[in-house]
Amino acid sequence: MADTTHPPNIIQLWHNVAAQPRSRYGAELRQILNLERAIAAMAELTQWPGYGATPLRSLSGLSEAIGVGQIAYKDESNRFGLGSFKALGGAYAVLRQVTQQVRQITGDPTVSFEAVRAGGYAEIVAQLVMTTATDGNHGRSVAWGAQQLGCPCVIFIHERVSVAREKAIAQYGATVIRVPGNYDSAVRWADAQAAANGWILLSDTSYAGYTEIPCDVMQGYTLMVEEVLQQWPQVMASAPPWPTHVFIQAGVGGLAAAVCAHLWERWEVAPVAGRGDRPPRLIVVEPATAACLYETACHGELVDVHGSLETLMGCLSAGRPSLLAWDILKLGAEVFMTIPDELAAHAMRLLADGIGGDRPIVAGESGAAGLAALLGISQQPELRSQIHLDENSRILLFGTEGAMDPEVYQQIVSEFPSP
C-alpha cells in the first residue's frame, strides 16, 4: 500500500464566522445563481452531442487509510473530451451569448439554442468574435464552444501558461495570444481588447461592471453538482447517506460558488430524507501562493494578492476573487484554507497509485487540490477536530481536471497518463 503521509508543509485554515449554513438561500444570492437557471442549463447541456454524466468514484481504500467514513471523487477528466469541468461553463456561455446576439440582430426573440447550434444563422455567427483570458482550461472550453458554432475566437494566456496548454486551446481554431504578467494581467488584456474591437468577452471571473456572463459560466458548472446528487445514493450505497464535507478548490472562486450555491439551494427547496437540516460543510482550498479568497475571508473584504502567483496548481493561480463568487462564498463557505504545491503533487501520486484496491485515477495538478487539502488536515488531530472530521465523515471531492499537460503529469507521478 502506498504511503499516505506527505512531506512537511504549512496549511492555513480560516474559519468563516460570517457563514450561515442554516440560513435561507436568499433573494440577493438568487440574482447570481438559482435553481431555475440551473435547470435550464442542464436541459441544454444534456442535449449536446457527446454528453454523458462523468463518474462519481468511491475511494474506499483511501478513506480507510486516512480514517474517514467515505470519500467520493467526481472525476471530470473526460468531460466532453476536453479533460476538465470547464467544458460546462465557457462553452455554455458562448452559446447563450451568440444566441442573444442573433436574436438582437434578427429582431426575433424566439431564436432557439437548438437553431443556433444547428447552424441556421451561420453568416451572423461568423461575424461574432469570442474572447477571454485563461490559465488553460476555461480558454479551451470557450474555444471549443466557438468552434462548434462557427465563430472566431481569440484567447489570451499569460507568460507562465505551458506550451501544452496553449496548443490544447489552439487545436480548436482559436488565435492564442501570450501576454506578459500573470492571470490577472491576461484578464485586463482581454477586457481591453474586447472593448476596443467589439468582441464578446466571456470571462469566468466577475468584477465591477462585468457580471452577467460569469453567472452563465458558473450556472453551467451546476450540472456537475446535480449529477453528484443523482449518483450519490447508488455509488455510495454502503455508506450513510449524503456528504458531510465538501473540499472544493478555487482560483477566482467561480467553481466553489457554483458548488456552494447549488448544494445550499437544493438542501433548502428539495428536502430529501437523511440529508439533515444543513448542506455539507464547504471547505474552500487554494494554493498558498495565490490565496486571494483566503485573504479576502481573513480581512472580511475583497483583497487582491500580488506577485507572480506561481503555483504548480496553475488553473488556481489568481490574485483577485470574482466579485459575485465572493458574494456567495462569504455566506456559504465555512472554512477557507491554503495548501502548498508539494501536497497537491502528493495527492496526484496517491490517486495514480490507487490505495487499498481503489481504481487508479489520473488527476491534473489543480484537479487533485481538494484531496490534497483533505490529506493535509487528516494527519493533524487539531485540524480534524476543528472541521468535525472523524471516522463517520463522508467527503465529496471534485477532480476538476485530468492530465491537461502530459509532460508535467509525467514529471510528477513518473508515468504517462493512461488513455
How far is residue 113 from each of residues 48, 127, 195, 218, measured CA to CA in Å? 11, 18, 26, 18
- Cα(108)–Cα(92) distance, integer angstroms: 21
- Cα(177)–Cα(137) distance, integer angstroms: 15
Q: Which sign does the torsion angle of CA 291, 295, 298, 301 carry?
A: negative
3-state secondary structure of 210: strand
Packing angle, helices 212-235 and 90-106, rounded to 10: 130
Which of 86, 216, 341, 358 is flagged as catalytic?
Answer: 86
Helices (H), 121-253: 122-125, 137-149, 163-170, 183-197, 212-235
* Catalytic (active site) residue 135: yes
- Cα(123)–Cα(401) distance, integer angstroms: 35
Q: What is the dihedral of CA 203, 24, 34, 91, to 10 degrees?
A: 40
What are the beta bridge partners of residue 270? none
**Contact 254/404 with Cβ under 8 angstroms?**
no
**Contact 93/202 with Cβ under 8 angstroms?**
yes
91: Cβ contacts below 8 Å, ≥ 6 apart: 80, 141, 142, 144, 145, 148, 220
Report the residue count for the chain: 419
Which of 75, 135, 191, 327 is flagged as catalytic?
Answer: 135
**Contact 68/395 with Cβ under 8 angstroms?**
yes
Active site residues: 86, 135
